[in-house]
Chain A
């Protein structure tokens, strides 16, 4: 007999009640693109699979005023087909194009990408650059967590076993410029060696607002806050960009692994920053 059990709640509230009851023995299942390989690799064992994939309440992309809200079950492919995302959250749309391959994009959800908490997550890096908030629900109620405060380490976040990610929200970036660059060893399906998401607003020739997010360069995806504050109010001359490249290299904590050395990744960080500005302002 299988060591797993399965439940398919009909509403979000039913799912929350069940997760509360199961505690660490419960496991939310959305697109399953992380979970099934993890089960096969025995990284996930004996638990109750709580299948939320049919909950319409967790789907959909909406705008109200200046705010864009995306349901956690929204797939990467749905993001790519959304005018709202393409016009008001461009960096997320750009990242969607570099996410896995078209088949995986039909299943992979944005909520699953957040909960999985990979330092390289291609859905998370753009959300960081959008300064997004993660909406989380439990029986006790709802809370909102800035994406920046959501992750605590590789595969780890502040999400509790009795909690469900219901969606993400961010302020429109309609008038700002964006870029997402993923540097991998192969074009499709490759895990990022490093990635960058950039959102920048100019006033005249000066940087008015800028948000820089980096993937796979530290134990969690991260914002390059010092680089951002150096750049704010500055004009993007070659000297300023060169200084920003130096600063950004001090903000990351890359590892050496089979795919690349630490020194290489440090070098890459500066290169990606420059290329991201070039791409965004082209």
Chain B
């Protein structure tokens, strides 16, 4: 069995294959920012606490500082930037802006990714459910209320669009 000190991996980042040589302990966060140059994913704490590094890996939102780059080999990741054409993401971005849910903006990409993943699977969430869904994402500026307002507004318009 081969022990590798340098691992060549290919990851689909926002639909584009990125190939690079990574170290064994390199995180997916480092890969996406430094090798793929996709910097909307932020590094707030590098230990799983803050959620600024949230991206979608194989369809699920995860904290990319908690994933080895090598574990994403031959898999697909999506960040906010790659979801620019997605109607739900667009609605969330607009709602964040109109509700004043963005102050310094550092937590915003991670919040948006977590919120989008949640709303895609939950039809009529109440505020408690929205708070729980975003509980892995910290914000030092807004006090969360405006963020929850912004997500709740999109959830409500999704619901009325279905009626």
Contact = CB atoms under 8 A, between A and B. Distances in A.
Contacts of A31: 66
B71 interface: yes
Contacts of A48: 3, 24
Nearest to A38: B47
B48 interface: yes
Contact of A37 (B2, B7, B23, B66): B66
B62 to A, nearest CB: 5
Interface of A: 1-2, 4-9, 14, 17-18, 21, 29, 31-33, 36-37, 39-41, 48-49, 51, 53, 77, 100-104, 106-107, 187-189
Given A32-B66, A32-B67, 19 more contacts: A4-B5, A6-B3, A6-B4, A7-B1, A14-B1, A31-B66, A36-B47, A40-B47, A41-B47, A51-B70, A100-B136, A101-B51, A101-B136, A102-B118, A102-B135, A103-B51, A103-B54, A103-B63, A107-B67
A278 to B, nearest CB: 21
Contacts, number: 102
Nearest to A188: B135
Interface residues of B, number: 34
A37 B47 contact: yes
Contacts of B163: none
Given A9-B1, A17-B1, A188-B135, A39 B71 contact: no
B149 to A, nearest CB: 19
B127 to A, nearest CB: 14
Interface in B3-25: 3-7, 23-25
Contacts of B54: 103
B68 interface: yes
A7 B43 CA distance: 26
Q: Which residue of A8, A49, A106 has the most chain B CB atoms within 10 A of its CB atom?
A: A106
Interface of B: 1-7, 23-25, 27, 46-49, 51, 54, 60-63, 65-68, 70-71, 114, 118, 132-133, 135-137
A241 B127 CA distance: 36
A49 B25 contact: yes
A36 B27 contact: yes
Nearest to A10: B1
Contacts of A101: 51, 135-136
B49 to A, nearest CB: 7
A188 B136 contact: yes
A39 B1 contact: no
